[in-house]
Amino acid sequence: MTVFVFYCIHDVMKAEKAFKDSGIPIDIIPVPRQVSSDCGMAVSLEEEYKIRAQDILVEHNIEIKGVYKRLSSNEWVIDT
Amino acid sequence: MVDVSTDNIYMDNAATSYPKPGEVIDAVCHHLSTLSSNPGRSAHRLSLEASRALFDARQTVADFFGASDSRDVVFTLNVTEALNLAIYGILRKGDHVVTTSMEHNSVMRPLRHLESEGIIELSVVHSFPDGSVDIDGIAKRVKQRKTRLLVVNHASNVTGTIADIKAISRVKGEALLLVDAAQTAGCLPIDLKEMGIDLLAFTGHKALLGPQGTGGLVINTTRECILPLKRGGTGSNSEFEQQPDFLPDRLESGTANGCGIAGLARGIEVIQTMGIDNIRMHEKKLIEIMQEGLKEIKGIRIYGPMDAERQVAVISINIEGISPSDVGYALDRSFNICVRTGLHCAPSAHRTIGSFPQGTVRFSMGIYNTEDDVEKAIDALTWIAEH
């Protein structure tokens, strides 16, 4: 699982809309404890959609704070 | 309890529009009954739905006024709070401010306060007796490198006189133009970029048809320099004890008026469906009928430009020998016509048009007023003037 972390909820909402419009399946989840974030919510998606999703964020001018990958249930790494 | 449900002719839309469209009432009720949880604070489904509603409303407002990004829409309690946010958030010691004598106290009082504290230097440009703005006068008062803010009413709440914002923007120099759209948002087209507006303060409960307790500041430029009026919880940056620096969170703290904002957004959608040009046409027709009828009444004084092209549906009058409050009382108790009398929180505007301190009787029409309402108001005034 990949998680996108944003600076604020406004950007999470904006990203959700952009992903929905582009047909990318996502979920909004509370930010995992191990992931550093300013904002309490994050977007999770399957890894296969990561590149396309990042392109969509650039296209919509939505700033992303970080991308994380889940290794195990409580292990996350930065995934740039 | 007073029965106010029937036979009222409501002509106080410049204060608060009434009635509200069924769609707005439904939107408020829907929000309260299904998704009234806390937006932006949690990732549970109800909170997310509330966050989405707030986000969608922000986008609706941004699109309606031509803002480039919905984060530039900051929700406030009303236009007064939006004006205070802009005025106190931007002005610093030594700044010069230009405004007009037709402003409401929501502009005058914060500016006079800052002036009396020795923080700003204030120039009030005298408007013409019909309420129109002296644009050359503004051009003369704007000082290079010193004037920080120019504050102008888009239309007067006393005379309805519309200001030519585009022309005013051309003389603002380096100053930021803050427009008070209390009387125009929802009944005149507004486009920030096209009109050269830097900051737009609006309220939801007048021509935008929303509930009371809604409004906002829309920022076209100068995102960085506005300081918050209040600081507190935003749902973001929770690990820090300092206010976040990004919009809209920097300027919005505490739980938003979610159900009210949902109603405001629906009000805007109702206007978009009706078409703002159609609304304007309807109101112009009412102004014309009203002015034609008023002219025939003996001893009446009509304020403002007397030209539907140059005003919104706000008409102030006085009847010779009768105080405005007596006229208002008679209209209400004998004719079921609701108007507002007195100074309309705008003493400077009344001085400008020559009606201070007694004020005027103000009729303000909205989308639900009919030609029949206007005829009845004219008949009532005719009767009052003759008795």
Chain B residues in contact with A28 by the CB 8 A cut-off are 43, 48
In this structure, the answer to whether residues B243 and B305 fall within a common structural domain is no
What are the percentages of helix, strand and coil residues in chain B, rounded to 5? 40, 15, 40
pLDDT at B223: 65
Q: Which of A8, A13, A38 sits opposite B52 (nearest CB)?
A: A13
Per-residue model confidence as pLDDT tens for chain B (387 residues): 455 556 799 999 999 999 999 999 999 999 999 987 888 877 788 889 999 999 999 999 999 999 999 999 999 999 999 999 999 999 999 999 999 999 999 999 999 999 999 999 999 999 999 999 999 999 999 998 899 999 999 999 999 999 999 999 999 999 999 999 999 999 999 999 999 999 999 999 999 999 999 999 999 987 668 999 999 988 887 778 999 988 999 999 999 999 999 999 999 999 999 999 999 999 999 999 999 999 999 999 999 999 999 999 999 999 999 999 999 999 999 999 999 999 999 999 999 999 999 999 999 999 999 999 999 999 999 999 998
Q: With residue B360 as reference, give the H or E element that holds it.
A: strand B360-364
Residues B174 and B319 in one domain: no
- CA–CA distance, B197 with B141 (Å, rounded to integer): 19
B41 touches A: beta carbon within 8 Å: yes
Judging by DSSP bridges, how do beta strands B337-338 and B9-10 pair with one another? parallel
CB B183 within 8 A of CB B15: no
Domain range enclosing A23:
2-78
**Domain that residue B282 falls in:** 9-20+275-386
Tokens 């703005």 correspond to what residue?
B133
Q: Does the distance separating the beta carbons of B39 and A28 come in below 8 Å? A: no
Burial of B298 (C-beta count, 10 Å sphere; 0-12/13-18/19+) = exposed
Which chain B residues touch A38 with a CB distance below 8 Å? 236-240, 244
Tokens encoding B15: 């204060």
Interchain CB distance below 8 Å, B55 and A30: no
Number of separate domains in chain B: 2
Please state the length of chain B. 387
Q: Are residues B160 and B286 in the same domain?
A: no
- Which of B224, B250, B273 is the last residue before a domain boundary? B273
**B294 and B167, same domain (yes or no):** no
Angle at B108 between CA B104 and CA B111, to 5 degrees: 150
Does some domain include residue B147? yes
CA distance B47 to B224: 29
- Measured between CA atoms, the residue of chain B closest to residue A17 is B52
Edge to edge, what strands does the sheet with B176-180 contain?
A: B73-76, B215-219, B199-203, B176-180, B147-153, B95-100, B120-125
- Structure ipTM: 0.84
- B301 touches A at CB < 8 Å: no
Closest residue by Cα to residue B31 from B251, B170, B208, B214? B214
pTM for this structure? Answer: 0.94
Are B145 and B291 members of one domain? no
Which one, of B152, B147, B84, B158, lies nearest residue B311 by Cα?
Answer: B158
B329 in contact with A, Cβ within 8 Å: no
In this prediction, what percent of chain A has a pLDDT beyond 90? 64
Q: What is the CATH number of the domain that holds B308?
A: 3.90.1150.10
pLDDT tens for each residue of A6-39 = 988 899 999 999 999 999 999 999 888 778 666 7
Interface with chain B: mutation pick from A3, A5, A9, A35, highest number of B CBs within 10 Å:
A9
> Quick check: is B175 in a domain?
yes
CATH classification of the domain holding A50: 3.30.70
Check A9 against B246: CB less than 8 A apart: no
B387: buried, middle or exposed (CB in 10 Å: 19+, 13-18, 0-12)? exposed
Q: How far apart are CA B86 and CA B222, in angstroms?
A: 11
Residue B352 phi/psi, 5° resolution?
Answer: -65, -40
Residues of B (87-146) whose Cβ lies below 8 Å from A: none
Task: Note the pLDDT of residue A35.
Answer: 80
Q: Are residues B246 and B203 part of one domain?
A: yes
Which of A38, A62, A65 to mutate to probe the B interface, most B CBs <10 Å?
A: A38
Q: Is B51 on the interface with A (CB under 8 A)?
A: yes
Buried b (16+ CB within 10 A) or exposed e, B254-264: eebbbbbbbbb
Q: How many domains does the structure of chain A reveal?
A: 1
* B364 contact partners, CB below 8 Å, separation of at least 6: B11, B12, B13, B14, B15, B160, B313, B314, B315, B339, B340
Residue B243 lies in a domain: yes
Same domain, B183 and B57: yes
Question: Among all residues of chain A, which has the CA nearest to that of B236?
Answer: A39
Looking at the fold, whether B238 and B330 belong to one and the same domain comes out as: no
In a shared domain, residues B245 and B299 = no
User: Which residue(s) pair with B316 in the sheet?
Assistant: B362
Q: Which residues contact B332 (CB under 8 A, 6 or more apart)?
A: B338, B339
Of the pLDDT bands very low, low, confident and very high (cuts 50, 70, 90), residue A71 is: confident
Residue window 270-289, chain B: list those with CB within 8 Å of chain A.
none
Distance CA B70, CA B62 (A): 5
User: Tokens 């009222």 correspond to what residue?
Assistant: B8
Torsion of CA B262, B264, B266, B267, to 10 degrees: 160
pLDDT the model gives residue B236: 81
C-alpha neighbours within 13 Å on the C-beta side of residue B285: 14
Query: Does residue B167 sit in the same domain as residue B313?
Result: no
DSSP H helices in chain B: 22-34, 45-65, 79-90, 105-116, 135-141, 165-170, 192-195, 258-274, 276-295, 324-335, 347-353, 371-386
Q: Which helix (H) or strand (E) holds B361?
A: strand B360-364
Q: CB count, 10 Å around CB of B184?
A: 23
**Contact (CB, 8 A) for B373 and B11:** yes
Is the same domain home to B327 and B260? no
By a Cβ cutoff of 8 Å, what residues of chain A touch chain B? 7-10, 12-14, 16-17, 28-30, 38-41
